[in-house]
């Protein structure tokens, strides 16, 4: 069970600072110290990072529950990166986290980071909030490597929601720390963690999008009545609500299993369902909003542009393929057990 105190505290903090204007201006400024400070001051970014490594302890489920809240508020901060991703990499290698925001190199096919003579060279792409992070953590040649962003040259780039996803190029840059990655800490494990974090944020955004759509369609009137009284519009709202509820539940189960150990199937499934929801539910929500949803002056885009971005981050098309390959491997006789028991069935992604 998740302590609802944690999520309520997170919700209260973000409700106060992640206002429409704050989220909007974070996009222009590429950073929002106000929002970051509000969540950092109560320790939220470091949930699930052990206290011994400078974190605040807690489970993956708790960290995920907070990410769901962050997704609801479209919070433009590296919350997932600092704790579940960079914090995990660092602490599992015996390193401590720093006080400020941290980020992670997602590890794309076009990255070419390498260590030469104890120094880091090459380019990492799509690094979230690289310019604002205190430290960047990367997996390079089987090592957990910590560097300072100022040691590299940052080329600004963004995802569709205007969240920084920068490229960082290093040339024989000094390394803050470098430790061989322990067993189970590798690029693939990072990808699963990243997928879980995105699915969690998406669950929150989908929930908020549903509520926004319910609210808008009960206020907007056409033909003398609220548009939400038309069945065709109601069907759009329901589609959105169903997908949101499904993804939220899948994320809860995936996080629960991740706390216990093997959860690759659950995480892949949660991300796959979130990706599908990003397609179906955002379409429905936008349709129900008409032109109002197409302007940056109204809240919907804070959610829908994030959903489209997060869908593509840490893999989208890859998940159905991986689950499918694993299902073929598992075989027809045990196929149902994957559905009923998840990872415990032995389905191996």
Among 150, 219, 222, 321, binds another protein (CB under 8 A): 321
Output the CA–CA distances (angstroms, integers) from residue 284 to 26, 55, 142, 254, 293, in the order listed.
27, 40, 44, 26, 11
- Kindly state the smallest distance separating residue 124's Cβ from another protein, in Å: 29
Q: Which of 5, 116, 291, 332 binds another protein (CB under 8 A)?
A: 332
Window contacting another protein (CB under 8 A); options: 76-84, 120-128, 227-235, 284-292: 227-235
Task: Name the residue among 104, 110, 72 with its Cα closest to residue 88.
Answer: 104
Decide if residue 319 touches another protein (CB under 8 A).
yes
Mapped onto helix, strand or coil, the DSSP state of residue 166 is strand
Q: Is residue 109 classed exposed, middle or buried when 0-12, 13-18 and 19+ CB atoms within 10 A define those classes?
A: exposed
In sequence order, what are the beta bridge partners of 146? 137, 177
Would you count residue 261 as binding another protein (CB under 8 A)? no
Rank residues 120 and 285 by Cβ distance to another protein and give the closer one.
Answer: 285
CB of 69 to another protein, least distance (A): 13
Pairing of strands 225-226, 221-222: antiparallel
Residue 195 CB, nearest approach to another protein (Å): 12
Q: How far is the CB of 162 from another protein (least distance, A)?
A: 25
Instruction: Give the footprint of another protein on residues 70-89 (CB under 8 A).
Output: none
- Cα distance between residue 285 and residue 288, in whole Å: 5
Helix (H) or strand (E) holding 137: strand 135-140
3-state secondary structure of 123: strand
State which of positions 270-289 bind another protein (CB under 8 A).
270, 272-273, 276
Would you tell me which residues interact with another protein (CB under 8 A)? 207, 210-211, 214, 218, 228, 231, 234-235, 237-238, 241-242, 244-250, 252-253, 256, 265-266, 268-270, 272-273, 276, 317, 319-328, 331-332, 335-336, 338-340, 342
């Amino acid at each position: 069970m998740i302590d609802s105190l944690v999520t309520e505290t997170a919700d209260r903090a973000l409700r106060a600072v992640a206002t429409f204007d704050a989220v909007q201006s974070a996009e222009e400024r590429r950073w929002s110290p106000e929002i970051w400070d509000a969540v950092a001051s109560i320790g939220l970014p470091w949930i699930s990072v052990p206290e011994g490594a400078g974190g605040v302890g807690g489970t993956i489920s708790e960290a995920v529950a907070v990410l769901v809240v962050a997704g609801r508020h479209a919070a433009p901060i590296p919350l997932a990166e600092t704790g579940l991703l960079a914090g995990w990499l660092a602490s599992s290698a015996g390193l401590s986290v720093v006080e400020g925001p941290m980020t992670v190199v997602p590890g794309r096919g076009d990255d070419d980071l390498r260590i030469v003579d104890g120094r880091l060279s090459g380019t990492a792409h799509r690094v979230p909030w690289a310019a604002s992070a205190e430290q960047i953590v990367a997996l390079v040649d089987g090592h957990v490597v910590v560097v300072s962003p100022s040691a590299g040259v940052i080329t600004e780039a963004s995802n569709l929601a205007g969240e920084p996803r920068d490229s960082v190029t290093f040339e024989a840059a000094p390394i803050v720390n470098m430790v061989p990655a322990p067993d189970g800490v590798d690029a693939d494990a990072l990808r699963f963690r990243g997928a879980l974090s995105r699915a969690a944020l998406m669950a929150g955004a989908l929930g908020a999008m549903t509520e926004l759509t319910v609210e808008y369609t009960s206020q907007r009137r056409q033909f003398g009545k609220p548009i939400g009284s038309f069945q065709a519009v109601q069907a759009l709202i329901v589609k959105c609500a169903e997908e949101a509820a499904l993804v939220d539940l899948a994320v809860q189960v995936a996080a629960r299993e991740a706390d216990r150990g093997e959860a690759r199937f659950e995480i892949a499934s949660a991300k796959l369902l979130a990706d599908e929801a990003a397609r179906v539910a955002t379409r429905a929500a936008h349709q129900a909003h008409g032109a109002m949803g197409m302007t940056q002056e109204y809240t919907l885009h804070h959610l829908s542009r994030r959903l489209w971005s997060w869908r593509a981050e840490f893999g989208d098309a890859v998940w159905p393929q991986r689950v499918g390959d694993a299902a073929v491997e598992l075989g027809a006789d045990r196929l149902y057990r994957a559905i009923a028991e998840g990872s415990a069935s032995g389905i191996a992604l």
